Structure 1
Amino acid sequence: MNDLEFLNAFESGNFPPSLFDHGAHLRLAWINLKQYGEEKAIENVCQSIRNFDALHGDGSKFHTTLTVASIKTVNHFMQKSKSHQFADFIREFPRLKTSFKELLNQHYGFDLFFDPKAKNEYVAPDLLPF
C-alpha cells in the first residue's frame, strides 16, 4: 500500500485492525508530518486514532500522551533523515521500531503507559523536552 492508500484506508475505517501495530502508528505519524507539519499532524493523528478505536474497539485504547510523544519523536528523526519513503526512514532509524519505549524513557521519568492522566491528556516530558 502506498502512503495515500494507507492513509485513506485508515481514515475511512477500512484498515484491518489486526494490522494497526506500532509500525502502522509510526507510519501514520510520518505521513501526516510530511503533509502537515507537527501541530496539524498531532491534531489529525489523534483524531484518526480516536475514530479508529471507536469504530473497531470500545473507544478505550487511545492514549493521548503516547500518540503525541510518538509524533514528536518521529518528527525529531525526520529532521535528520534523508529518506523519502517510510520503509527507508525506518531502515535509517530502526530504534523507532525496536527500542521505542527506551527512546520515550529518555524523556519521561515515569511509566506513561500506565498513567491515567497521560492517557487522557498530553503530559509534557519531565526529563528531556522533545
Structure 2
Amino acid sequence: MEKHFELTDQEFERQFESCELDPAIFSHEAHLRLAWIHLYNYGIDKSLERIQIQLLRFASSAGDPGKYNKTLTIAAIKAVHHFMLRSKSASFMEFILEFPRLKYNFRELMDAHYGFDIFNSEKARTQYLEPDLLPFD
C-alpha cells in the first residue's frame, strides 16, 4: 500500500491543495486518487478546473513547475471519469483494484487515444491537445 493511503481523502485533498503534501508521496497512483476525489466531490467540469490550478501550484511549490503537462492532466481526469461511470466502488482503493489498468497500464491507455507522445511533447505541456485516435467522451 502506498504512503498516500495513510491520509483520509479529506486530509489528502487538503494537504495537496495547500501544498503541504510531501511531493515524495505524490506518485502516479496519488495523481489518480486526486482525480477520483475531485470527480467524486465536484463533478467533471469543476474537477478539470480545480485540478489544473492545484497541480500547477503544487509543481511550483515543489520546485518543478516544468513538470506540469496540461494534456496529460486533462486526459487523466477524463480517463478516471470514464472508469468511474462504470464503477461499483465506494472508495478510491476499491476503484483502483477494480480498474488496475489505470495504475499499471496508463501509458498504453493514453496510447489508445493519442497517436503521438503526450508525455514528452512540449506542446502538450502548455495546451490541451485533443486525442487524434479515440475521443474520451
| Normalised-by-shorter TM-score class | over 0.9
CA distance in 1, matches of 2:102, 2:61: 27
Match of 1:123 among 112, 129, 133: 129
SS in 1 for 2:67: coil
Q: Which runs of 4+ in 1 moved over 4 A?
A: none
Root-mean-square deviation (CA, aligned residues, Å) is: 0.7
1:9 alignment partner, one of 12, 15, 33: 15
TM-score when scaled to structure 1?
0.98
Aligned length: 130
Alignment correspondent of 1:71: 77
Deviation at 1:87, TM superposition (A): 0.3
Where does 1:26-65 land on structure 2 (aligned, <5 Å)? 26-65=32-71
Equivalent position amino acid for 1:103 in 2: L
Any unmatched runs of 5+ in structure 2? Answer: 1-6
TM-score, normalization: structure 2?
0.93
SS of 2:37's equivalent in the other structure is helix
**Secondary structure of 2:87's aligned partner:** coil
1:20 matched to 2:20? The reply is no
Gaps of 5+ in 1: none
User: How much has 1:57 moved relative to structure 2?
Assistant: 1.4
